[in-house]
Structure 1
Amino acid sequence: MNYPVWIVPHIGSGWVIGLIAIFHIMISHFAIGGGLYLAMAEWRALRTGRRDWFEFLPRHSKFFLILTGVYGAVSGVGIWFAIGLAAPEATSTLIHNFVFAWAIEWLFFLVELTSAAVYYYTWNRIPDELHLKVGWFYAVAAFFTLFIINGILAFMLTPGDAWLAVAGSGQEASRFFQAFFNPTYWPSLALRILVCVALAGVWALVTGSRIDETKQPELKADVIRWSVRWLVPAFFLMPICTLWYLACVPDSQLELLRLGISTVGPGSFSHVTRAVLVSTMASATILAVAYLVAYRKPLDFSFGYACAIVFLAFAATASGEHTREMLRKPYVIVGHMYSNAIRATPVLVRGQRISEVERFNRFGYLRDSIWAREGHDRASETSQSPSNDSASTLARGELIYRGQCAACHTLNGYRGLRRLMRERDLTAIRNILTMLHDPPEESPYRAFMPPLVGTDDEIDALALYLDSILHKDSSQTQSGGKIAGRH
């Protein structure tokens, strides 16, 4: 608990990151694929002599500049704000290990923003050949931002054995390239390029649908059909690249996906199963609408159809990204840091390398907490001098809940503990916590929940706190005593 815990009622901090991230992904991937779309469309118009395209392209580039330069940039800042509050320890790790990669990515981002503005504001002001070069310059700069950020995102799922071998030793910088070009780097890059190209076509359908078919029927038909073709590579190549990607993911991280798929037969759809089905069905619906309406009847393709395709693309992208995030569980950086910021790899403490799980179990989770609330000093003491005071014990339990549970759970909303632990008494709650503290090998919880750490007294305090929020009326008579048979 080196940082304060950010509690977001009802939805949890994870959903704050997720909602901002999906909005940003829809725009940032369009910023990459859309730059390629504009450059190729302008090149195609010049090659074929279709001057009517130069009435559409400036309008599309204005839409492109506003969406990517304003909403994309602001949502990108929003992601940094959210992850800095929700997962500060993981954010710090990514910054320290990839500080120069971040610097290079931001440099290319500045080049990207500048060239996008130059591209739009120089329509019909500079020679066509020079303007096209500006478009290609933007497309290359945008691709390099993807090239860099993809390495960092893929690292969180597959940091690689070389980096994990030195994690926590202070020698992580010596494994920079092994961490960056990690096992899932190339399949992840291929998948993201396909998404970028597909979203370029999806967003182009929005501006293309606004062309007046009564005044420019040939232009609208050509723009709509050409934009639909940008969806084709994703539909045919994405299944292949997905299999390539999954083949590079460690077996331990595929357990949750296998568990989700295995529930389809019995009809019990898990969280992962629903996400995969939504992504698949949304993608199939996009293909059907794009072909049956947009490609076959381009003049009938309205703005409403375009918005429907954007919504379906949002659903498919959100579900796919959510599934990818689920593969990391119970880690935020696989093999190194759990989702509650506890490090799984040994770290250097007073000249000795020891895992935080072992250290917290031996000496106590709250001992080194610098963010224990003022007035509850005893909440940060070790188990050698436990407090018998009811209020102090509940305070200790709340601090453990905030530090170890609140990253994934809320009290009343998403993954709400009141709902998950309803109708359980104090003994049952303590038994569950004991199982999470020392999960057996066959326990399904190992696939998606980090181990609960702390001394016996701290686990008791957490049990009493959870019991107090579940059974407020009876908790006062139970919270002062010890839990029988806890050892």
Structure 2
Amino acid sequence: MDVYPVNQYDPLMPGIMIAIVAVVHVFLAQFAVGGGMLLCYFQWLAMTGRSANARLFVHGYFKWLVLISFVAGAVTGVGIWFTSIQVSAFTIGGMIRNFHWIWATEYLFFLLEVFAGYMFYRYHQKISDAACMKLLVMYAFAAWMSLFLINGIISWQLTPGGWIEKHSILEGFFNPTFWPSLFFRTIVALTLAGLVACIVVNTMQSLDQEAKRKLINYAAHLLVPMVLMPILGGWFLLAMPADSRGWVLGGSPTMNLFLNISIGASLAIGGYALIGLYLQRLYINGATATLLLMLAFGATAGGEFVREGSRKPYSIRYWMYSNGIHPDQVAQMRKEGCLVHDPYPLVNGTEVAGEITTRGAKVFRRQCAVCHTVSGLNGVTELTESWDEDQMRMNIAKLQHTKPFMPPFAGNAEDLESLVRYLKWFNERNDEQAEAPMEEAALADINKWLDQAGTEPASKPPGREAASSEGDS
């Protein structure tokens, strides 16, 4: 049983560290994909004589693309790996073990993207228009293929499909949400490229407003596919597991809020782009274009939050819980405890009262720390502050029923009691009470509640509900 330490960043929840870096990286990466397509379009406009200033735009725009996507995108990409390993090494390890050849292929396309991009940047003024177009098409294709491959792995986390039974790489990659997610992200990429283009055009001081307006109107063509977003979003929702769809549509107020933020921001951008820029061919200044791009960032952040949150209680749906424990390990950990395979001491400076609270702190790190702090953002001591000890014991023992988006408690009665003692001590600082010998009656109650809860999650793979119900009864 692989166990990795979870670094805690109280009062910030560890997941927020990953989310901040990931949202920025996703935003930049999708912009790079759309940017390649936009450059091909504008190069075509220049080669066919449809736009007198398209060539000037391509040469200037690409410098922005290189600076932003190649530098900031690469840095945040490494940042995702670094923060994920600190907090959720078990998830990253599972993704790499199952899709290592796809990851390797994606890196090859990334190298091709970098090669084509820098070749164009270095030689675009010395080679023919046809050669420039070939490099830009190569760049755009490589960037989109990176999206294609990464999308398969990311969507697999939510809807692994037939991979659960067969562990077939193809069935896991081409999973139920693969296609709607791919098409949706491609449209997002085009949208971001079009909005950034509107900003860049406003920085071209050599052009008058009418020339800028014409370039902006061409860039707006990339925003038109946003009309398909509601259809693709509905397709994605229908392809999600029923309980995940329930979280998003109202079961979780937070996820529903972020969904509405994403939808509202997208509608504002799409409405302005379709009516103002495409149909009425209006000019848009840099400040307004920047505001629209900020709305797009908000929509991206909201969408990523929903995608991540809808997997609960899993990190990789039906296969690994968000705390890195596999569903088939819970029963074993109920018998032997959750710390048998955990060799890591507490970080120096961790506050504890003694042996029991030390154990409780380790149980917290093993089962809770990926998503929660002890005290702070999403802090467990704040969430359970109104519960007395018996309520805490019962609610944690029946965790998957208390909070259906939580995994079942994977430990024995002593683990659970030490966790309760640690959380109570953290607020009350009563050393004597926290380190008092465990009472047999309390442990018996915990065992009873653990047995009543069972080891199955509230969210099970299709086809397992009936069998699990018989086993639990």
Give the structure-2-normalised TM-score. 0.88
**The 10-residue stretch of structure 1 (191-200 or 474-483) with the greater mean CA deviation from structure 2:** 474-483
Q: Aligned pair 1:360/2:317, yes or no?
A: no
Shift of 1:432: 2.1
**Pair 1:197-2:190 in alignment:** yes
Match of 1:266 in 2: none
**Could you tell me which residue of structure 1 aligns to residue 125 of structure 2?**
124
Cα deviation for residue 390 of structure 1 reads 6.7
Q: Any idea what SS the aligned residue of 2:410 has?
A: coil
Q: Which amino acid aligns with 1:228?
A: A
Distance in 2 between residues matched to 1:286 and 1:49, nearest whole Å = 26
Q: How far 1:150 sits from its partner (Å)?
A: 0.8
- What is the aligned partner in structure 2 of residue 477 from structure 1? 433
Q: Contact 1:390/1:480 (CA < 8 Å) preserved in 2? A: no
Aligned residues of 1:9 and 1:413 also touching (Cα < 8 A): yes
Match for residue 225 of structure 1 among 217, 220, 224 = 217
Of 353, 371, 377 in structure 1, the residue corresponding to residue 344 of structure 2 is: 371
Q: 2:303 aligns with which of 320, 330, 343?
A: 320
Corresponding residue for residue 395 of structure 1: 358
Q: Which amino acid aligns with 1:477?
A: Q
Cα gap change, 1:211/1:390 in structure 2, threshold over 3 Å: closer, same or farther? closer
Structure 1 position 25, deviation (Å): 1.0
Match of 1:115 in 2: 116
State how far apart, in whole Å, the 1-side matches of 2:395 and 2:336 are: 22
- What is the SS of the residue equivalent to 1:369? coil
Counterpart of 1:398 in structure 2: which amino acid? A
1:302 aligns with 2:285: yes
Answer yes or no: is the 8 Å Cα contact 1:116–1:138 preserved in 2: yes
In structure 2, the gaps of 5 or more residues are 445-473
Cα distance in 2 between the residues matched to 1:160 and 1:19: 29
Kept in 1, the 8 Å contact 2:152–2:174? The answer is yes
Displacement, 1:291?
Answer: 5.6
Equivalent residue in structure 2 for 1:451, among 408, 426, 429 = 408
Query: What pairs with 1:16-415 in structure 2 (closer than 5 Å)?
Result: 16-161=17-162, 163-166=163-166, 172=167, 175-212=168-205, 215-234=207-226, 236-260=227-251, 270-290=253-273, 296=280, 298-299=282-283, 301-344=284-327, 355-373=328-346, 391-415=354-378
CA 1:259/1:431 → structure 2, altered by over 3 Å: closer, same or farther?
A: same
Structure 1 residue 357: deviation in Å?
0.4
Residues 224 and 273, structure 2, Cα contact 8 Å, conserved in 1: no
Q: Note the aligned Cα RMSD (angstroms).
A: 2.1
Q: Distance in 2 between matches of 1:432 and 1:12?
A: 22
Which residue pairs with 1:386 in the alignment?
none
Letter in 1 for 2:433: T
Deviation at 1:479, TM superposition (A): 3.4
* 1:461 corresponds to which of 414, 418, 421: 418
**2:466 aligned residue:** none
The size of the alignment, in residue pairs, is: 438
Distance 1:260 1:252 in 2: 9
Change in Cα spacing, 1:293 to 1:209, as seen in structure 2 (3 Å) is farther
Shift of 1:45: 1.9
2:436 is aligned with what amino acid? G
Q: Which amino acid aligns with 1:183?
A: P
CA distance in 2, matches of 1:124, 1:50: 18
What is the CA–CA distance in structure 2 between the aligned matches of 1:454 and 1:103, rounded to whole Å?
A: 37
Distance in 1, matches of 2:281 and 2:238, equals: 40
Contact 2:109 2:142 in 1 (8 A): yes
Kindly state the Cα deviation for residue 294 of structure 1 after the two structures are TM-superposed. Answer: 5.1
Q: Secondary structure at the match of 2:48?
A: helix
Q: Is the 8 A contact 1:212 1:220 kept in 2?
A: no
CA positional deviation for 1:297 = 7.1
**Hey, what's the Cα distance between the residues in 2 that align with 1:117 and 1:37?**
17
Q: Distance in 2 between matches of 1:209 and 1:476?
A: 68
Q: Structure 1 residue 398: deviation in Å?
A: 0.3
Q: Percent identity?
A: 32
Q: Deviation digits for residues 368-406 of structure 1, max 9, x if unmatched?
A: 11214499xxxxxxxxxxxxx971111110000011111
> Secondary structure of the equivalent of 2:354?
helix
> 1:165: how far off?
2.1
3-state SS of paired residue (1:179): helix
Give 3-state SS (helix, strand or coil) of 2:42's partner.
Answer: helix
Alpha-carbon shift at residue 423 of structure 1 (Å): 3.4
* Structure 1: gaps of 5 or more residues: 167-171, 262-269, 345-354, 376-388
What SS does the corresponding residue of 1:20 show, helix, strand or coil?
helix
**How far apart, in 2, do the equivalents of 1:28 and 1:257 lie?**
25
Q: Report how far residue 283 of structure 1 moved.
A: 1.6
How far residue 120 of structure 1 moved from its aligned partner, in angstroms, is 2.0
Distance 1:419 1:390 in 2: 20
The answer for the alignment partner of 1:267 in structure 2 is none
The separation in 1 between residues aligned to 2:236 and 2:51, in whole angstroms, is: 40
Structure 2 partner of 1:11:
12
Assess, with a 3 A threshold, how the Cα gap between structure 1 residues 462 and 83 changes in structure 2: closer, same or farther.
same
Distance 1:64 1:144 in 2: 18
Displacement of 1:287 in angstroms is 3.2
Give the conservation status (yes or no) of the 8 Å contact 1:426–1:463.
yes
Separation of aligned partners in 2, 1:89 and 1:374: 19
Checking the alignment, whether the CA contact within 8 Å between 1:360 and 1:454 is kept in structure 2 is yes
Partners of 2:53 and 2:215 within 8 A in 1: no
The one-letter amino acid paired with 1:302 is N
DSSP 3-state at the match of 2:315: strand
Instruction: State how far apart, in whole Å, the 1-side matches of 2:83 and 2:442 are.
Output: 42
8 A contact 2:322–2:370 mirrored in 1: yes
